[in-house]
Amino acid sequence: MRQLLLNIAPEWQPTLDNFVVGRNLELISVLRHALAGDTNERCFFIWGEAGSGKSHLLQAVVGEAQRSHRSAVYIQGGVPEVASVVAVDDVECLDDDAQIGMFDIYNRLREIGAIVVFSGKEPPLKLKLRDDLRTRMGWGLVYQLNGLSDEEKSQALLEHARARGFTLPAEVMQYLLCHGRRDLNSLLTALDSLDEYSLRTHRAPSVPMLKEVLRNNAG
């Protein structure tokens, strides 16, 4: 009989505080100032390769706004509702109808002074979207999200493990960095799987256990 695993690990949520800043200090600063109402900037476009942390930031902005009791919505590759803070992830996935809807919604959001954060794999002018929509997405501040060094990824893994309530052995972290997928999201997902497997089997995290987890995830 397979033992049922109670969800006793603390729930991890993306926030601006647990985002590993690396070379993105200015971007984090302007987002914080916008949420605090200390700037007139209302539109931001964040671009970077898959796994660079764009979704983390967009969800963090929405979560921060909601904790301040403001209406806020996050959506991935779709058209959002009108709110005081809106985050639209993966804008390159917008189909023709969604682009029309996004154009109309964006104009309404500007009228009410909403904070709007977009993300994409490329800067606005290189996106294969309607010209009028691409232009509007580029009206605000545009930032490339710089990837993390191995040292910064190590810091992120240690903080994530600490948030889940377990200690990550140094040899396990090094093996994951050398043999896991390189983007941070995949590394964190593998770490979550390792923690869950460790809890289920009542064994401490180890390199052999991580090898098994990575093999299962690959299958």
pLDDT at residue 18, rounded to an integer: 85
Compute the C-alpha angle 105/111/117, nearest 5°: 55
**What's the average pLDDT block by block, 10 residues per block, for the chain (219 residues)?**
38 83 94 95 94 91 97 96 97 97 96 97 95 94 90 88 89 92 84 92 93 84
pLDDT of residue 37: 94
pLDDT of residue 100: 97
Domains of the chain and CATH, by start: 25-144 (3.40.50.300), 150-218 (1.10.8)
Neighbours of 207 (CB within 10 A): 14
What 3-state class would DSSP assign to 212?
helix
- The predicted structure's pLDDT at residue 9: 46
